[in-house]
Amino acid sequence: MNRNLLRAFMRPLVLVLLLGLLIVCLKVAVGWWREELTPTEDGNWLWLALFPILLAIWWRYFSVFGCKEPACLLPKDEERR
């Protein structure tokens, strides 16, 4: 398979997986914040530890703030004048 074609298919799948994991992490974090869950039961500490890591991955690779595509970047100084 062409590398660009594979990347085009994998990117949405990784995004769906990442957002699903972020939802679970957010649910556990809110439960912990409200003192409904403890980190020691059912491995909640793992979800609490993964939350900032997954959030950083989403921010860097999938959000508009971390986008490195040419359409996302500002034009060069010469072009802005």
Q: What is the pLDDT of residue 54?
A: 95
Model confidence, pTM:
0.73
CA distance 13 to 77: 36
CA distance 49 to 21: 12
Domain boundaries, the chain: 3-80
Structure confidence by residue, pLDDT tens digits, 35-58: 999 988 888 999 999 999 999 999
Q: What is the pLDDT of residue 69?
A: 67
Structure confidence by residue, pLDDT tens digits, 8-24: 888 889 999 999 999 99
